[in-house]
């Protein structure tokens, strides 16, 4: 909790990350982030008046051209009344990320909600070169070898079946 205590005065921004799984469920969609120069799930900031669930679907499409839908994860049934309150699908994880200072941008915090998504159309990637350096589908072995963050490896490991661990 030292990071949270040390940065409690930093500006907080809500962001989303989308772990899109291939139709076969054996690969995850990642993009090469322009500023961080690392492989990450597509994602970005939640816009005003937008739910995180809508933001992650939008960001995935904007960065990769892939149509995807959030995998349902309703959490506890709150027995809510649709006219006044609705249960949103929960993220698979939520992290507190320190974004270092850059020229013209002070250090700040991303409160990142990671969602699992399923492809709803073609798996052909058409990445947005103005947003990311590249994009593609990666197996678990690929992800483990990429220049990425430990959290991306951990989430990918939890989502992708490791062929070496499957017994006949």
Backbone angles phi, psi at 43, to 5 degrees: 170, -175
Whether the CB-CB separation of 53 and 89 falls below 8 Å is answered with yes
Q: What is the pLDDT of residues 46-82, one digit of tens each?
A: 999 999 999 999 999 999 999 999 999 988 888 888 7
Listed residue (70, 68, 61) closest to 127, CA to CA: 61
User: Per-residue pLDDT for 132 more than 70?
Assistant: yes
The full 3-state SS of 27-41, as one line of letters, equals: CEEEEEECCCCCEEC
Domain ranges, ordered by start, for the chain: 2-74+86-162
pLDDT in tens, 85-97: 888 999 999 999 9
CATH number corresponding to 2-74+86-162: 3.90.79.10
pLDDT of residue 162: 54
Q: DSSP per residue over 8-19, as a string?
A: TTS-EEEEEEEE
pLDDT of residue 146: 97
pLDDT in tens, 22-49: 999 999 999 999 888 999 999 999 999 9
């Amino acid at each position: 909790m030292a990071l949270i205590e040390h940065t409690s005065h930093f500006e907080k921004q809500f962001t989303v990350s989308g772990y899109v799984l291939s139709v076969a469920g054996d690969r995850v969609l990642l993009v090469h982030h322009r500023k961080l120069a690392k492989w990450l799930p597509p994602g970005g900031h939640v816009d005003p008046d937008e739910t995180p669930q809508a933001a992650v679907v939008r960001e995935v499409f904007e960065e990769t051209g892939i149509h995807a839908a959030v995998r349902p994860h309703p959490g506890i049934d709150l027995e809510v009344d649709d006219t006044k309150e609705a249960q949103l699908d929960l993220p698979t994880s939520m992290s507190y990320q320190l974004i270092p200072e850059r020229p013209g941008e002070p250090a700040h915090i991303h409160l990142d909600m990671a969602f699992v998504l399923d492809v709803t159309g073609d798996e052909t990637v058409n990445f947005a070169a103005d947003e990311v350096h590249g994009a593609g589908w990666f197996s678990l072995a690929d992800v483990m070898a990429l220049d990425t963050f430990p959290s991306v490896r951990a989430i990918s490991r939890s989502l992708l079946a490791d062929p070496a661990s499957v017994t006949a």
